[in-house]
Structure 1
Amino acid sequence: MDLDNSITSLHENTLDYTIWTELLHAAEISTDIQLIRSIYTSFLSYFPLFFGYWKKFAKLDPDRAFEIYQQSVKSVPHSVDAWIFYCDYCVAKRDENHTRLVFQEATKTVGSNFLSHLLWNKYLEWEFSKKKPQNITKIFLQILQQPIQQLRYFWESFTNHASSRPIEELTPDDEDFKKKLSEITDDLMKFQEVMKYHESTLVQTVKKMNEVIPFENNIKRPFFHIKPLDTKEILNWNQYLNFAEAKYEENKNESNEEFVIRIYERCLVPCVLYPNFWKRYAFFFENNNKIDKARGIFSRATESVIQNRPSIFIAFAEFEERQKNFDRVNKIFEGSMKHFKDKAYEIYILKTLFEKRQLKEDEKQEEKILLIYEKAMEECSKNDNSIMVLSISMSQYLSYRATIANENQDFKIEKILINKGRNILNKAFEASPKYKKLWTAIINYEILHGEEQIYQNCQFLYQQIFMDPCPLTQKDQLSIIPLLIDLCLNHSSDIKIVNKLEKLLYRNTLYHVKLGYDQSFELYEGEPTIINKQPIIQIQQK
């Protein structure tokens, strides 16, 4: 493959996964360690959630394997698999004390994950190999508090292990229970009492486990992939989050908050490309007055692989506006305008709406808003769709200002604003008359501001409809003609114009396909009356 061409292509689209896989393949078969490091480091900076590639990178670069595994669990801290890879490496390459610390950190971070049983098993097996039964007891007691898969298996293993361990080692760190236990003199009865205590812990944990099993069983892809997630899984994650948040609302304690956070963090591994989950996570903190945590979620989102989704930047700006941090709002808008050049018009429109909310009656603010629109028009001049959207939005703003001028009886300013809005729409239409939204906007604008000149002002739309070919698609014609008919019925003095539009509508093939009947009809009070009710499908079959 041509590495230079691939790298050039990535500069144009850094999130093109297809090109990245080609580069990664080139790295795998290469002996150039600098090339391997360069490709993998760059790739994982964009796609850190691909935990399997961290393991591949570590194997290809053994001299830096330890640092790579450390970075992997920082990048994907809620991935059980990433922690297992790291622990496996430490078991093989690191000393006992360090390996134990990594296992402890791993179980603390993801030990309550429903699928963490493999990690706990490895931890137990490793401590067994080190002949540390006391540590094994501690691990079992931790496991009994985790609503994880194979909990019953761990309980059975624990009972076997406990039968050969001293009572002191098995006794829980519970002062009331210790006092009660001290009153028992028989060792067997003490053992039974201790095991009964642990079994009661198990019962409570199993209850929690049974609550989450319906959601956990519907998670088929707990890992990240570039491909879209199945709709059923997206729905399941939403329902899981509903359940977690409901528990928190019932009792806003630290444990329930940690549970909500845990589910969100796990959700954001397979659902990282879905902005709504990021927004929902931030809203959870914001709604509970944890503003810094909400801001942290938005910051993470804008720095993650989702950075090519403008909606998350917009949500971030709206969040900062709610906090009255207007300087931050402007910085977010400015940054996103440069970042999303193909969708800059959306950002510009939202920026103007933000400015409108600040000082509605300030004339300088009005000038500022118009300058934003003009700058947007200039920067998006090569994109017809952008110009169309911006023109409609700007005309709506001018219409809004004209309405205020009318209320203030400043009729001269009102007329200037109305004409300016009309000229903007007409200019956009002349450049690209193919957009139905633009036709609709012009008609509605004239109905609102045209007064006695409404029909004359829309005359060019009427003429365009009869052009051959018409700028609109046949389907869009079908929705625009009734608006023109209504316009002409109310504002034209010539009924022939109305009839001409009606005949054009009734000759429209899609009109009859939509009705589902043959074309035989007659006009009655401007509406078609069906005579031949034989379905088109049957006629086609003949």
Structure 2
Amino acid sequence: MGRDRSSSSDTDDYYRSSSSRKREDSHRRRDDRHRDSDRDRDRRRRSRSRSNSNRHRTTGGSQRSRSSRHGSDYKDTSLMTRPSVASHFGTPPIDVADFDNWVNILAKVDQSDDVDFAREKYRSFLSRYPNCYGFWQKYAEYEKKMGNIAEAKAVWEKGIISIPLSIDLWLGYTADVKNIKNFPPESLRDLYARAIEIAGLEYQSDRLWLEAIGFERAVYMDELCKGNTNASCKRIGVLFDKLLSTPTFHAPSHFDRYVQYLNTIEPHLLLSDREYEEIMKMVCKQLGKSIEELVQQVQLSYICQSGENGMLNIMTESAEGTFPITVNSLQHDPTALQLIRGEIVARRKRIYDKNMKECEIRAGFEANIKRPYFHVKPLDYPQLFNWMSYLDFEIKEGHEERVKILFDRCLIPCSLYEEFWIKYARWTWKTYKSKTKSREIYMKAKIHCPTSLNLALSESGFEESVENFDDAIKILDNFREEYPGYVLLELRYLGVLRRKSEKEGHGAPSEFVMNQYESLIRDSQSSPNLHSFYSLKLARYHQKSRRDPKLAQKVLKKAISIDPFNLQLYSQYVDIAYSSESMSELDVIQSFDVALDSNLRLEDKVRFSQRKLDFLEELGNNILAVEDHRDFHYNLLGQLPDNVTIRTRFVNDPSRVALAPAMPPQQQMVYAPAIQQQPAMNMMPMMPMQMPYMASSAVQLTLIESPSTN
């Protein structure tokens, strides 16, 4: 968790010795899917998708209810769609005290004259929390304060690479560059152009756009004051055209700003040559005059003054340090000028109106973004839900660049949530089919979510999908070495080995897979529930992949001896015999008898008994066996306590159901009629052994299937 591995201060020693241990212990106490203390809770947890809930620890730990975090009463009509993934976001494994401790350390670093010490601390912190734009800025300012200009520039560049959509970082960078004496305007223009290209689609990028426009205006005035005959505002026009078509927070104000600026300048200076000629032809046709009649050469006088970084600026009044200049320019006929500006405004208005519609359909999502910056404190559920819905909306719209920008925006405040990284990587691969881009996303994700199992599984799955089995296995190996004990990781690891073997067309690894399963089973004998879990997987592997049902049952029988009350083991044992073509009728009967001879609850035995009776009736070849087991089955039913209600097919004869009187409507189930116990005189004489059982009117047996259904 951003650990500082140096030993240069007492604060750091305390941080390593206490905070790290607490953090590691916290990770090891996370949700446990296969816990022995409560089987019911174990079954409920198996449906969860968070990586935290897959770890098989036998120690105790508190489990916080997810629903309490979600704000179940939260409703927002502005969310236009439900997210494409399950809207259950787990709390990221972040130690806030760790972050606060680092902030205190860096506050002391800023006062230090030891540059190497300061660099070490800043780099350690920013390698763990790269989305903290404020600390990139502090680091750059520290280097500048110490006189290391080149090093400060390198820090800005690294910060931009880490958070390319941070408008504050870009503005800090450009402001720092502006203060460099005699810095060439062309280089600053390139920096603004790069910033617009990378972060211009960010919804909060208005300040960046306006600063870039302001810079180009200052350059134009400087060139004008220096007598440059080629001085123009065409770059300003290009920036405004892009801005008017870009959905941003302050988009409604940009059109008025453009019109105001257009009214202060001759249009040929602002428009591209092609558009200017097109509009002039239209105006000449309307007025019936030639271009020469509508445009004339004039001389204009300005008052200039030296401004920032030696650039000249135009002033409205004379003052100390000002000087006059005269420049040649073109001036349009007032009537033509009005028509030209009207056409320019009409064209931009169409672009602006289209852009405003784009802004309006996104306004609901944007209004729900309360924290667009990074912080280690968890985001509340409505914001997470909003981000996921917003992403789904943009993906559906299909504008790839906007989707990418939104993902990059989202992964600043949501960088600690694995769901968004996985979604981004999968979208990138689906859209661009670029292994390099997908791997870059996974690499960044592991910086922010190093303990995420789901992220490791997703990355391994990606490598396997491009048939890079060795890297897929290596990813799982590395994660297991760092964070051992995940059940899903072990299963994925074995699955990759099996699929690799099948893909390569040889069966050598099958023995290795089997040995791995057996090793997991041996290591989990202290946890019966986990031992049973792996035994079920190995049995299924023997049955499906190795076509050896006998060996599968052998594995299950051994697991039953360790976990004799695990209902799944008995069910699987029966299913293997029932579904295997190589097993005889006697094998199936014996598999049922394993459950019936066990110490399972009486209700469970009744269910297995019913299944055995069904099998004998439908597929058995010995009628005596059918009758013998029928006697056994109803004697078993007669042992049920009076207060037990069990859902089972207690007879297969339709006439039995017909003789049973109807229950009151409020007690009947929609999908099946219910059987009410009646005196023995109403029963058919074919089964006298049922009379003691039927005399007990407290036991209710419900018919849940038609008699002809298995």
Report the TM-score range of the alignment, normalised by the length of the smaller protein: 0.7 to 0.9
Q: 1:110 — aligned with what?
A: 199
Among 267, 270, 292, which residue is 2:435 paired with? 292
Residue 55 (structure 1) aligned with residue 174 (structure 2): no
Q: CA deviation at 1:367?
A: 0.8
Q: CA deviation at 1:6?
A: 1.1
Q: CA deviation at 1:290?
A: 1.6
Q: 1:328 — aligned with what?
A: 471
Q: How does 1:120-519 map to 2 (within 5 A)?
A: 120-125=209-214, 131=221, 134=233, 136-172=236-272, 175=274, 178-182=277-281, 184=284, 185=291, 186=294, 187=332, 188=337, 189-248=339-398, 256-288=399-431, 290-292=433-435, 295-296=438-439, 298-343=441-486, 345-359=487-501, 364-377=508-521, 387-401=531-545, 404-405=547-548, 414-424=549-559, 426-427=561-562, 429=563, 439-448=566-575, 449=577, 451-454=588-591, 457-458=594-595, 462=599, 482-487=603-608, 493=632, 502=641
Cα 1:269–1:26 change in 2 (3 A) is closer
Bigger radius of gyration, 1 or 2?
Answer: 2
Q: 1:532 — aligned with what?
A: none
Q: Is the 8 A contact 1:398 1:418 kept in 2?
A: no
Cα 1:416–1:208 change in 2 (3 A) is closer
Q: CA deviation at 1:386?
A: 5.2
Which amino acid is 1:235 matched to?
Answer: F
Q: CA deviation at 1:348?
A: 1.6
Q: CA deviation at 1:4?
A: 0.8
Name structure 2 gaps, 5 residues minimum. Answer: 1-9, 25-93, 223-231, 285-290, 295-331, 578-586, 613-628, 646-666, 668-676, 678-694, 703-710
Cα 1:455–1:196 change in 2 (3 A) is closer
Residue 5 (structure 1) aligned with residue 178 (structure 2): no
Distance 1:348 1:392 in 2: 14
The alignment partner of 1:29 has SS state of helix
Distance 2:128 2:529 in 1: 30
Cα 1:156–1:523 change in 2 (3 A) is farther
Normalized against structure 2, the TM-score is what?
A: 0.59
Which amino acid is 1:356 matched to?
Answer: R
Distance 1:359 1:22 in 2: 49
Q: 2:301 — aligned with what?
A: none
Cα 1:379–1:171 change in 2 (3 A) is farther
Q: CA deviation at 1:346?
A: 1.9
Distance 2:641 2:171 in 1: 71
Distance 1:502 1:84 in 2: 77
Q: 2:104 — aligned with what?
A: 25
Of the structure 1 ranges 9-18 and 149-158, higher mean CA displacement relative to structure 2 is found in: 9-18
Q: 1:84 — aligned with what?
A: 171
Cα 1:106–1:357 change in 2 (3 A) is same
Distance 1:426 1:490 in 2: 23
Q: Is the 8 A contact 1:170 1:194 kept in 2?
A: no
Q: Is the 8 A contact 1:285 1:293 kept in 2?
A: no
Cα 1:446–1:366 change in 2 (3 A) is same
Q: Is the 8 A contact 2:244 2:251 kept in 1?
A: yes
Aligned length: 475
Q: CA deviation at 1:96?
A: 5.4
Cα 1:180–1:59 change in 2 (3 A) is closer
Cα 1:150–1:353 change in 2 (3 A) is same
Among 690, 693, 700, which residue is 1:527 paired with? 700
Cα 1:381–1:78 change in 2 (3 A) is farther
Distance 2:160 2:429 in 1: 27
Distance 2:389 2:558 in 1: 50
Normalized against structure 1, the TM-score is what?
A: 0.75
Q: 2:656 — aligned with what?
A: none
Distance 2:376 2:529 in 1: 28
Q: CA deviation at 1:176?
A: 5.9
Which amino acid is 1:47 matched to?
Answer: Y
Q: Is the 8 A contact 2:236 2:270 kept in 1?
A: no
Q: Is the 8 A contact 1:278 1:298 kept in 2?
A: yes
Q: Is the 8 A contact 1:356 1:369 kept in 2?
A: yes
Q: CA deviation at 1:444?
A: 1.3
The alignment partner of 1:225 has SS state of coil
Distance 2:131 2:567 in 1: 45
Q: CA deviation at 1:168?
A: 1.8
Q: Is the 8 A contact 1:3 1:23 kept in 2?
A: no
Q: CA deviation at 1:79?
A: 2.2
Distance 2:532 2:376 in 1: 32
Which amino acid is 2:374 matched to?
Answer: F
Q: Is the 8 A contact 1:84 1:119 kept in 2?
A: yes
Cα 1:24–1:288 change in 2 (3 A) is closer
Of the structure 1 ranges 93-102 and 33-42, higher mean CA displacement relative to structure 2 is found in: 93-102
The alignment partner of 1:462 has SS state of coil
Distance 1:164 1:209 in 2: 28
Question: Could you report, residue by residue, the CA deviation over 1:367-395 in whole angstroms, capped at 9, with x for unpaired residues?
Answer: 12112223445666777775454333223
Q: CA deviation at 1:116?
A: 1.0
Which amino acid is 1:77 matched to?
Answer: P
Question: Could you report, residue by residue, the CA deviation over 1:6-58 in whole angstroms, capped at 9, with x for unpaired residues?
Answer: 12456655853422321331331354444443333112112211223323434
Distance 2:102 2:526 in 1: 33
Question: Could you report, residue by residue, the CA deviation over 1:245-264 in whole angstroms, capped at 9, with x for unpaired residues?
Answer: 2332xxxxxxx321221122
Distance 2:524 2:599 in 1: 29
Cα 1:262–1:2 change in 2 (3 A) is closer
Q: Is the 8 A contact 1:317 1:329 kept in 2?
A: yes
Distance 2:643 2:599 in 1: 12
Distance 1:72 1:214 in 2: 31
Cα 1:456–1:140 change in 2 (3 A) is same
Q: Is the 8 A contact 1:223 1:270 kept in 2?
A: yes
The alignment partner of 2:419 has SS state of helix
Q: CA deviation at 1:335?
A: 2.3
Q: CA deviation at 1:313?
A: 1.9
Cα 1:24–1:391 change in 2 (3 A) is farther
Name structure 1 gaps, 5 residues minimum. Answer: 249-255, 406-413, 434-438, 466-480, 507-514, 516-520, 530-542
Cα 1:325–1:461 change in 2 (3 A) is same
Distance 1:228 1:165 in 2: 50
Q: CA deviation at 1:83?
A: 2.0
Percent identical among aligned pairs is 19
Distance 2:524 2:172 in 1: 48
Normalized per residue, which structure has more helix?
1
